[in-house]
Structure 1
Amino acid sequence: MAAATPFLKIGPYKVDPPVVLAPMAGITNTAFRQLCREYGAGLYVCEMITTRALVERDATTMHMITFAAEEQPRSMQLYGVDPLTMGKAVQMIVDEDLADHVDMNFGCPVPKVTRKGGGAALPFKRRLFGEIVRAAVRAAEPAGIPVTVKFRVGIDEEHLTYLDAGRIAEAEGASAVALHARTAAQRYSGRADWSAIARLKEAVRTIPVLGNGDIFKAQDALDMVAATGCDGVVVGRGCLGRPWLFGELQAAFAGLPLPAGPSLGGVAGVLRRHAELLVAHYGEDKGVRDLRKHMAWYLHGFPVGSTLRRGFAMVSSLAELDELIGQLDHAAPFPAEAEGPRGRQGSAAKVVLPDGWLDDPEDASVPVGAEMMHSGG
């Protein structure tokens, strides 16, 4: 195992190990974050919150920004396309003490977002991108709240934006930048280009650079740091159905032996704990239904018959969950095939953009209709 890696500093906060949980829509609610934190330290970011929904106090959004008492620092990711609304949202966070760290999302590749100029499409508009980052930093600075910025390599191979985005974010006062080393056109397909992370690290000298993409096991994180010189890693799909990955990452960055993967009985215990936390957050009906999306990830690679898998996928109560857990072979060892990619992958596709979006990268006009009234992606 490699020697211990220096900790990461984001504003006033020490992040040790240098590991960040990526915001994932419908996944990184307070229950999942708490579950992950029980395995290892790091920075755990809530689901994406839209600035307009926050400012207008949308009821669903206000529930989504729930943080457990032990979550320190409280980390919130914001999506926004309007500097004015972004500034108001961060000012609200400051005034009402809603979070300790703000991350900004410029990496979403979803067509409903990019077709209006948001997400991964927005950094192409360099002036507008800079104005949004500046608005957030200026609102957060008096309270000592660090603002970080996450983006992709670019729209596609012909329209790379990451080096400009990194330099602009650095110049506007961001405390760190994170690069998902894929283009928007790739979405989650193919391989992440870690060499882009290395190039960004060379271009951005005064703040930490974090790498994101294809970290599915602890060794992947060590390899990324070694290959790119990045200051920390951002973990997304790799922890789906594997919250104990954060314990493995903590051990890996400390230069300690990795804990063994859990047996099916161990996984069942994790699954049951996840259910308890979701029920505490949502109530039993919604909490158990929310757990359904995680079942295939938890059971991936284990010898579980199709009938039992269907039962887990349709579970509707804690009592039913306990009955299903009782039918598992608790002694089944952790399978090698449970390692590796998980979650959405899909295929590459042409990025849908507003008409004329690529005509003028210096155009600072706010995209029409890109402000969203719902959070979570």
Structure 2
Amino acid sequence: MLRIGPLELPTPVVLAPMAGITNVAFRRLCREQGAGLYVCEMITARALVEKHPGTAEMIAFDADEKPRSMQLYGVDPVTIGRAVDRIVDEDLADHVDLNFGCPVPKVTRRGGGAALPFKRRLFGSIVRTAVEAASRGGLPLTVKMRVGIDDDHVTFLDAGRIAADAGAASVALHARTASQRYSGHADWDRITQLRDALPATTPVLGNGDIFAASDAVAMMEKTGCDGVVVGRGCLGRPWLFGELEAALAGRPIPTPPTLGEVAEVMRRHVELLIAHHGHHKGVRDSRKHMSWYLHGFAVGSELRRELGMIDGLDRLDELLARLDPDLPFPADADGPRGRQGSPAHVTLPEGWLDDPEDDTVPAAADVMHSGG
């Protein structure tokens, strides 16, 4: 059992927000497999405040989706506060998370995401403002962050303490720096350090390199963290949440699906995307998922290519019929999925590293965009 403020999660597992992935369709697939907290795509605070046309679709939840979890991005305490006010006043979600972990250049160059915790006073102001706004509606406010900007600018311990002191209901740590992006290996020892540094009353969640249920068990045993956050490991594998639920409850892990069973999930995913986005956008959005679902299966490059170009359910059915339904799930299919990239210099606002106590909001920082 994981308690995040008033929320009680029987399975201590959180689906990480992923841009273009964790929409209502994918979250439904995951929820059908196992219990957890399923977070929607990251929402820009300013877009939410100004009711940007594209935001409504991104914050859609199923009627039976409880708790409804939303992640916000922003660098201005005032805008963040107004965004959380809207969530409370219009009953848009049951939980709000703040993104301080995104390493994408378009975010960090404006001082957002993983760049922001370096500015301790600004970071604290944002978290305190959001906590105060969320508390009006009894919503838990949580924080997700990285180890730091790079090895020379490690921020997670200070940021964790500031967040806990400000009233954050939990703190999640992706155990990589922003400069690592998704390359190399997550340093789980950093999660241990954060767990040891914060009060026992503030849950610490670990994130990074959970590609199988056994990884989650190992992380919790090694670090003492209170729960796990799963991102890339579930791409093309929503049934991972059923495996996580079983493993963390001490039950046998379900037998992985055959290729025929995977094909059924693929089709359902496309159906749900069409229902959410409409036919054209839903089909187009589904294409990127095809290779993830077939990861490790020996199906041939030509069939993979054709599945990545489908124009509708009829064509999808034709191609899925060419798969061997009895093919067992590959033993070596665990491991990284999606783009891993390589370490890179973190793009920051000019002079960003000069003074960590400077709480000036970066100019033009709250531009509207979605991020990852």
Bin the TM-score by the shorter chain. Answer: over 0.9
In 1, the alpha carbon distance for the partners of 2:351 and 2:267 equals 50
In 2, the alpha carbon distance for the partners of 1:256 and 1:50 equals 39
Which of 262, 281, 286 is the equivalent residue of 1:286? 281
- Asked if 1 retains the 8 angstrom alpha-carbon contact of 2:107 and 2:371, the reply is no
Q: Matched residue of 1:38: which SS?
A: helix
Query: Which is worse superposed, 319-328 or 39-48?
Result: 319-328
- Asked if 2 retains the 8 angstrom alpha-carbon contact of 1:153 and 1:181, the reply is yes
Which of 263, 270, 275 is the equivalent residue of 1:268? 263
In 2, the alpha carbon distance for the partners of 1:121 and 1:374 equals 17
Query: Which is worse superposed, 177-186 or 296-305?
Result: 296-305
Equivalent residue number for residue 233 of structure 2: 238
What TM-score, normalized by structure 1, do the two folds share? 0.97
Provide Cα deviations, 1:53-103, integer angstroms capped at 9, x if missing partner: 111111111111000011101000000100000000000000100000000
Equivalent residue number for residue 313 of structure 1: 308
Equivalent residue number for residue 214 of structure 1: 209
Equivalent residue number for residue 252 of structure 2: 257
In 2, the alpha carbon distance for the partners of 1:318 and 1:372 equals 37
- Asked if 2 retains the 8 angstrom alpha-carbon contact of 1:105 and 1:149, the reply is yes
Equivalent residue number for residue 344 of structure 2: 349
Consecutive unaligned residues in structure 1, runs of 5 or more: 1-6
1:167 Cα deviation after fit = 0.4
What TM-score, normalized by structure 2, do the two folds share? 0.99
In 2, the alpha carbon distance for the partners of 1:185 and 1:307 equals 36
Q: One-letter code of the match for 2:263?
A: A
In 2, the alpha carbon distance for the partners of 1:238 and 1:146 equals 26
Once the two structures are superposed, the pairs formed by residues 50-199 of structure 1 within 5 Å of their partners are 50-199=44-193
Q: Matched residue of 2:189: which SS?
A: helix
Query: Which is worse superposed, 367-376 or 228-237?
Result: 367-376
In 1, the alpha carbon distance for the partners of 2:363 and 2:9 equals 38
1:368 Cα deviation after fit = 1.2
1:376 Cα deviation after fit = 4.0
In 2, the alpha carbon distance for the partners of 1:176 and 1:258 equals 28
- Asked if 2 retains the 8 angstrom alpha-carbon contact of 1:284 and 1:318, the reply is no
- Asked if 2 retains the 8 angstrom alpha-carbon contact of 1:147 and 1:175, the reply is yes
Provide Cα deviations, 1:334-373, integer angstroms capped at 9, x if missing partner: 1112111111111001111111111110000001122121
Q: Matched residue of 2:98: which SS?
A: strand
Equivalent residue number for residue 224 of structure 1: 219
- Asked if 1 retains the 8 angstrom alpha-carbon contact of 2:76 and 2:361, the reply is yes
Equivalent residue number for residue 329 of structure 2: 334
1:375 Cα deviation after fit = 2.4
Which of 22, 26, 31 is the equivalent residue of 2:25? 31
Q: Give the length in aligned residue pairs.
A: 371
Equivalent residue number for residue 12 of structure 1: 6
